[in-house]
A and B are shown apart, each in its own frame.
Chain A
């Protein structure tokens, strides 16, 4: 029988299929793990309501559990409290940056919601001379930016 810590360790291998460097825990999608009488319950929450990666994430959790010999489990999806980018861990943010995605600003910075947010630093060269191209990028969670210094386009994990 596995403990919560063991389940947690094996689920650390389950990554976001669209950003395969960050785990569900680091992304804040994995909300809770309970083990009771040998039954495992994993709670996940979607990033965006229509995020097509959610089904793949759920399958990833189920696969990882089965692979570790856990048969008695349930993956539960909850909507509330609603996921926020503030739940992405510091480690997760560093991984996003290393992957070439600018991490999200904190949601309490209201200016980011009104579009008058702080300058976003280019993940390639670090320049803050960047400009928003579109609020909607390659996936639901990203916005498209362009760096005026190194001329490279890049994604921002947008504040949510």
Chain B
């Protein structure tokens, strides 16, 4: 049986890892966006997410009580110690893939934050209350672009559908609660993840409908990210993200 502190630590770490990994992926578009406005949009969203990650990881470090701060947790853990869902670590692909990946995550992230904002832990509440406003814009952005691609040209439609088909098997893990998430849902600190599926389904069906895209069938679902089992892509991403702190521990500028 896990203590409440430990469950909170694991959950704060999970939220931080999801935000940090997606933030890093989106930041990889910096200087490479398809148009200038999108370059700025993705970097702005990445900035929101890194701000959220800092809040969660700082909190996680305090809960753990071993003196680790946000930077230690971000830069000095291996991929096996990262607990983000696999969905957010997948490489950017083409722009349709990036948008579809964000959309599937944002549609989950927003109702989760809304529920957390009325949860029982003051610190998580405060972080979520603020993040809700930011993620509202993220979901609006990814939804609008998915509609533009789906209901656009034959080529953009084809690519958006291919992205959804490829990403679908990574969506199951979003709603699978681990031991910490189950414990926190029981006492009302966070929502039961399975309960978020209804709103996620409604958002996905509404936007895909508008985008004239087909909702993929539920088949085999990938999972493991939450217990540190990742795709081969996360290690590569972290190698790049962490290289400076690994080579020069504690470096500042």
User: Which A residues form the contact surface with B (CB < 8 A)?
Assistant: 46, 48-52, 78-84, 113-115, 133-140, 144, 160
Q: List 15 A–B pairs whose Cβ atoms lie within 8 Å, in order of A's numbering.
A: A48-B134, A49-B52, A50-B52, A78-B126, A79-B55, A79-B127, A80-B126, A80-B130, A82-B130, A113-B136, A134-B37, A135-B140, A136-B37, A138-B40, A139-B44
A135: contacting residue among B41, B50, B133, CB under 8 A: B41
Q: Mark B89-118, 1 if CB is under 8 A from A, else 0.
A: 000000000000000000000000000000
Contact (Cβ within 8 A) B40 A50: no
Point out the residues of chain A lying under 8 angstroms from B136, CB to CB: 113
Contact (Cβ within 8 A) B125 A49: no
A82: contacting residue among B37, B38, B41, B129, CB under 8 A: B129
Smallest CB gap from A54: residue in B: B51
Interface residue? B193 (CB, 8 A): no
Given the complex of chains A and B, what is the CA–CA distance between A51 and B133 in angstroms?
14
Point out the residues of chain B lying under 8 angstroms from A135, CB to CB: 41, 137, 140-141
Given the complex of chains A and B, what is the CA–CA distance between A134 and B129 in angstroms?
24
Given the complex of chains A and B, what is the CA–CA distance between A79 and B129 in angstroms?
8
Given the complex of chains A and B, what is the CA–CA distance between A115 and B141 in angstroms?
11
A79 to chain B, nearest CB (A): 4
**A-B pairs, 4 with minimum CB distance:** A50-B51, A49-B51, A80-B126, A136-B41
Point out the residues of chain A lying under 8 angstroms from B140, CB to CB: 114-115, 135
Contact (Cβ within 8 A) B55 A49: yes
Point out the residues of chain A lying under 8 angstroms from B126, CB to CB: 78-80, 82
Contact (Cβ within 8 A) B125 A80: yes
Given the complex of chains A and B, what is the CA–CA distance between A144 and B141 in angstroms?
14
How many residue pairs between the two chains, A and B, have CB atoms under 8 Å in the bound complex? 72
Contact (Cβ within 8 A) A51 B51: yes
A49: contacting residue among B38, B134, B137, B141, CB under 8 A: B134
B236 to chain A, nearest CB (A): 24
Interface residue? B49 (CB, 8 A): yes
Point out the residues of chain A lying under 8 angstroms from B44, CB to CB: 136-137, 139-140
B117 to chain A, nearest CB (A): 9
B123 to chain A, nearest CB (A): 9
Contact (Cβ within 8 A) A52 B47: yes
Contact (Cβ within 8 A) A134 B41: yes
Point out the residues of chain A lying under 8 angstroms from B183, CB to CB: none
Point out the residues of chain B lying under 8 angstroms from A48, CB to CB: 47-48, 51, 134
Contact (Cβ within 8 A) B50 A50: yes
- Which among A84, A136, A137, A144 has the highest number of chain B CB atoms within 10 Å? A136
Contact (Cβ within 8 A) A140 B47: yes
Contact (Cβ within 8 A) A50 B49: yes
Point out the residues of chain B lying under 8 angstroms from A82, CB to CB: 126, 129-130, 133
Given the complex of chains A and B, what is the CA–CA distance between A36 and B49 in angstroms?
37
Given the complex of chains A and B, what is the CA–CA distance between A48 and B55 in angstroms?
12
Interface residue? B211 (CB, 8 A): no
Point out the residues of chain B lying under 8 angstroms from A52, CB to CB: 47
B186 to chain A, nearest CB (A): 24
Interface residue? B131 (CB, 8 A): yes
Q: Mark B31-49, 1 if CB is under 8 A from A, else 0.
A: 0000001101100110111
18 extra interchain contacts, Cβ-Cβ under 8 A, other than A82-B130, A137-B40? A48-B48, A49-B48, A49-B55, A50-B49, A50-B50, A50-B52, A51-B47, A79-B129, A114-B140, A134-B37, A134-B40, A134-B41, A135-B140, A135-B141, A136-B37, A136-B45, A140-B44, A144-B40
B148 to chain A, nearest CB (A): 13
Given the complex of chains A and B, what is the CA–CA distance between A11 and B90 in angstroms?
46
Contact (Cβ within 8 A) B130 A79: yes
B60 to chain A, nearest CB (A): 16
